[in-house]
A and B are shown apart, each in its own frame.
Chain A
Amino acid sequence: MALQYTQAQKEYIHLTQEFGDRYLTPEIIKKYDKEGNCPRSLFEPAINLGLHMLEIPEEYGGAGLSYEDSALVFEKLAEYDAGYALTLITSFVALRCVLMAGTKEQAQKFANVIKPGHFAAFTMSEADAGSDAGSVKATAVRNNNEYILNGNKAFATNGGLADIFIGIFRTSDNGNHGLSAFMIDKNTPGIWIGKHEDKMGLRLSNTVPIGFKNVHVPVENLIGKEGRGINIALSSLNLSRAYVSTLTVGIMQRALNEAAKYANEREQFNQPIVQFESVQNMLADMATSVETARLLVNNTMKMMDKNLSVRQEGAMTKLFVTDIAQKVTSDAVQILGGYGYTRAYPVEKLMRDVKGFQILEGTNEIQRMTIAREVSKKYQF
Chain B
Amino acid sequence: MDAVKRLMKYQNYDFKKDFLSFWAVIICVNIGGYILNSSFGRRYVDMRIGMMSKGSNGVSVAGANLIPILIFIIAYCIEMYQESFPLAIGFSSTRRNFYKSVIFSNVIFSMAMAVIEAVLLKADRLIITSIGREPLLDFNYFHIVNDNILFIILSLFLAFLTCCGVFNLLGTLVYKFGYKFWIAFGILATIILNIAGLKNIIWEGGKTLLLSNNFPSYAMKALIISLMTYVLGWLIIRKVDMKSSKN
* Mutual binders A and B: no
